Structures are given as C-alpha cells and as structure tokens.
Amino acid sequence: YLERDRLPFDVFLIDECWDMHWGDWMGNDRWPSGMRAAAERIRALGYRPGIWTCPYLAKADSELAVEHPEWLLRLRDGSLVIFPMNGPNYVLDPTFPGVCAFIEALYRRLTEDWGYTYHKLDFLRAVFMYRDAAFYDRSATRLEAYRRGLEAVRRGIGPSAYLSVCGGHYGGSLGLADSQRSGSDVTAIWDEPPALPKLKQNIHRTWMSRLWHVDPDAMMVRRREEPIDVPSHSRLSLGLFTDAEARTIAVNQYVGGGMVCFTEKFCEMDADRKALYRHVIPSVNAPSRSLDYFAPRCPSLLRTLVRPASPDLALWATVAVCNWDDEPRERTLVLSDQVLEDLAGERFLAYEFFSQRLLGVFGRGEAAPLGTLPAHGSAVVKVLPWDGHTPALLATDLHFSMGGVEVAACRAEDDALRGRLETGWRYPVSVTAVFPGGADGEAQTASVTVPPGEREFAIRRPAG
C-alpha cells in the first residue's frame, strides 16, 4: 500500500507477529524472505525500520530455555518465575553471568546485521515485578537487575539507534530510553473496556516529555465491525468509535506532544478517518499542560504552547476542550491567565479547528462559547494575540497546531497575507487569515485553498 500512497511518517515498525519463539528471536515462516529483507524493503520506501521484541522473556520450548536453564530467574523457594503473557513465559535473570552478553549480542545482530535501528521493547516489568525474585547476584535490587539488562540492549543497538520502552520502569530507564509508554494498551471500543483511563494516563504524564518522547500507544480510528484474524486479540482489531470519539482519539496523540503512533490497515480505511492522521503528523513537539489537573474524572482543558516553525510568526496557544461525559455538553473556554500564559497583548482571537470557525475577539478573562460538544467529543481552539490592525495567520485545516508545523514562512502586507507551506501530506490545505475592519469593526476572515503539491499561498483582504 505504501508503495502506492506514501504517508509522511518516520518509522515503520514490525510489531509482535514476526518471531518464532520468544527468547530465540528468529523470523517465522510468515516472512519467507527473511527479516533483513523486510528491513531493506522498509528502508527502500524511505522509512526507518523498527522491530518489536521482549528481551527478558523466553517461551518454555525456546532453544534458549532448553539450553540455558541456569539463565532463568527463580523465586526464593527455587521455583521458576512465570510471567503470563500469550501463555506462560520464563524470565531471564540479567545478573547471571552470560545473560547480558547474550542480550547485547542479540541486539547487535538485530541492528547491525538485520538493519533495524528502532527497537520497541515490551513486557520489561517481568524482571522487577516479583518481590520474591532471587537474583543470581544477591546484592542486586530488582531495578538494578532491570537496568543491567537495558544497558546491555543499549550497548548492542549503539548510541544512534532508537530505544522505545513499553511496560518498563520510568526511573530505571532514565538516560537509556528515547521514548516510554505513557498509557496502557489501546482499545477499539470506547467503553469495552473504558477508553478514558487510557487517555487519562497520557494526559497526566505529558510532563515526562522533558525526559523522553511520551508514547500514548497507537492511535486507531478505523471503522471495522468484525475482527481481522487473531481470535485471542480480536477486540483489539475492531473499529467501533463514533466520529466524535475518533477525533478525540486523535487529540490524545496531539496533546502528548511527543511520539505519534498508529496502527491501521490503510488499504481498508475510509477516507475521512485516514484524513485524521494529517492533524497529528508530524508531532507538534510541545506537550500539553492540564488547566484543570485535579478535575474529579479527568482533565478536560489541555493547553499547548505552540512555537511555530516560521520565524515570522509569534507564539500562540491551542486548548483542547474535551467532553468526557456520556451526554452532549455545552462548553465555553475562559481566556484565563493560565490559557494566556506567555502570550502578549490584551486582545485575542479564538478559532476552533473542527468547525473552522472564528469564535470572536476576546479580552483577558472573557469566555469564548464553543457550543455543544457531543458525548466523548472535543474541540481544539487556537488562542492568538491580535492587535486589531495587522493581518495575521489564523489557521489551516491541516494540523491541530493550525499553522505551527506546516507553515514555513508567512508575512503580512497591508492588504494581504502571503506564505509558504511545507508538508508531506497530499491534501488540499485551507489557509485562513484575519484582517481588521470587518462589519463588526474588529475582525474579518478570508481563506484560500492550496492544491496538493503546491506550496505558496496569498490571501487578500476581503472587499468592503
């Protein structure tokens, strides 16, 4: 599919589906050309090859478990530690002589020989979650054992490869992980199990972006009423979100401000759902901050300070406003000191992304009406300082930042706004500007549509 329609993301990751036995890490017969050939094909498409592993686990029938039973972690009573995931698994003891050398050699092979320079490591908690674990090195704590193994991975992949940690320990991964999961596994239905706890985890952990790229787990916005092909995980392959919920799932990727991750069969996707990805790729690279952090159910006001790519543009903020209730709700956005932090001026434009609508010009402390948000729906509002005299870039309909990542240059003239787009998406892009002197005496808008493949735009002041 990507040979026909290349999408502008960075890494193509082969997740858990390629391995023969956990612990041995050789390709299965679903990859007849071999895993090195798969990496070469990914690279030929212009993507970075990524691969999934769980380095601390070994299946009971793996060669590793049969040939090196002494490497397996035991409890204080001498019994083997069993980690249940897709059946029972043994756990490696990173403190046993030879184990870290094995891990280092494994990841050197995956990186240097096979060509995978992005590594997603899963189920790392298996090493530190058992209080009664008896490590070979009795002086090692559970986290010291965990870190020894992770250091061996880093030595094997080298300093320039990317290390993504899932199910690991936040403190124990500091300085080693390039990204860490901020939420639990995604679901394909809003309330089976509830999606909100998963989104809430990401919302409460956006601050971690100062340490690594936060990973909210994969965005899934497909429509699908039947599972794909894996009975034990069939519900994960469904796609039963409403349109409002799908938009909120996309907003969750934006507010994390770090990694944008997704999993789809694009050849089956409806065009409107596929188009949601253009709103979050590339990452805005700025985490949101919850303005109502201690809301009893979940924060619903998520502010992102946007530092635009264009040197001609000043700072603005976006605020994602979410309705976590099961019923529609009227919402407003008060331009409080928290919303306006770091923004100069006394008058501000408020523009809503999904409706592509100017809500008005507001002063500090005033409320911008958003109307009714559907159940589990959201709005994204751009708050932009405006002097009331100078034409300004108001928004695009491409990215939730509304010009932060996709507008490379922009300059205001007396009667026009001119600029340049930079995007890998092949969509027409609507660009909206604001001019002084409308019928209300404060603001009037004008828009142009930039066809796919074109870059320059010029928006002229409306007549009259």
Which residues, 6+ apart, have CB-to-CB distance to 366 below 8 Å? 334, 335
| pLDDT for residue 440 | 57
- Say if residue 463's pLDDT is above 90: no
Q: Answer whether 254's CB lies under 8 Å from 278's CB.
A: no
Cα 161 from Cα 207, distance rounded (Å): 24
Nearest CA to 72 out of 142, 141, 135 is that of 135
Degrees (nearest 5) of the Cα angle 380, 449, 246? 35
Residue type, 362: F
Cβ count near 40 (within 10 Å)? 14
* DSSP states of 77-129: TSPBPEEESSSEEEEB-TTSTTHHHHHHHHHHIIIIIT---EEEE--GGGGTS
DSSP H helices, 304-388, are: 337-340
| pLDDT for residue 437 | 82
Confidence band, pLDDT 50/70/90 cuts, at residue 414: confident
- Say if residue 336's pLDDT is above 70: yes
Coil, strand or helix at 319? strand
Strand 301-306, strand 289-290: pairing:
antiparallel
Tell me what percent of the residues of the chain surpass a pLDDT of 90. 92
pLDDT one-digit tens code per residue, 25-72: 999 999 999 999 999 999 999 999 999 999 999 999 999 999 999 999
Tell me what percent of the residues of the chain surpass a pLDDT of 70. 98
Q: Which two tokens stand for residue 463?
A: 């007549």
Confidence band, pLDDT 50/70/90 cuts, at residue 123: very high
Taking residues 149-158, report their average pLDDT.
98
* DSSP states of 250-287: HHHHHHH-S---B---GGG--HHHHGGGGGTSS-----
Q: How many CA atoms lie within 13 A of 290 on its CB side?
A: 20
Whole-model pTM: value is 0.95
| pLDDT for residue 387 | 93
Q: Which two tokens stand for residue 148?
A: 């020894």
pLDDT one-digit tens code per residue, 95-108: 999 999 999 999 99
Taking residues 215-227, report their average pLDDT.
93
Q: Answer whether 235's CB lies under 8 Å from 321's CB.
A: no
- Say if residue 118's pLDDT is above 90: yes
Confidence band, pLDDT 50/70/90 cuts, at residue 227: confident
Taking residues 320-338, report their average pLDDT.
97
Task: Find how far residue 29's CA is from the centre of its chain.
Answer: 31
Residue with tokens 């709700």: 329
Task: Find how far residue 218's CA is from the centre of its chain.
Answer: 7
Output 399 or 439, whichever has higher pLDDT. Answer: 399
| pLDDT for residue 108 | 98
Taking residues 433-456, report their average pLDDT.
88
Q: Answer whether 179's CB lies under 8 Å from 212's CB.
A: yes
pLDDT one-digit tens code per residue, 186-202: 888 999 888 899 999 99
| pLDDT for residue 441 | 57
How would you class 24 by CB atoms within 10 Å of its CB: exposed for 0-12, middle for 13-18, buried for 19 or more? Answer: middle
Degrees (nearest 5) of the Cα angle 143, 148, 151? 120
Confidence band, pLDDT 50/70/90 cuts, at residue 236: confident
Strand 118-121, strand 162-165: pairing:
parallel
Which residues, 6+ apart, have CB-to-CB distance to 382 below 8 Å? 316, 317, 318, 349, 350, 351, 352, 353, 394, 395, 402
Nearest CA to 40 out of 17, 1, 7, 12 is that of 12
Biggest CA-to-CA distance, the chain: 86
| pLDDT for residue 279 | 98
Confidence band, pLDDT 50/70/90 cuts, at residue 234: confident
Nearest CA to 19 out of 117, 122, 156 is that of 122
The values of phi and psi at residue 20, to 5°, are -85, -55
- Say if residue 438's pLDDT is above 70: no
Residue type, 30: R
- Please give the mean pLDDT across all residues of the chain: 95
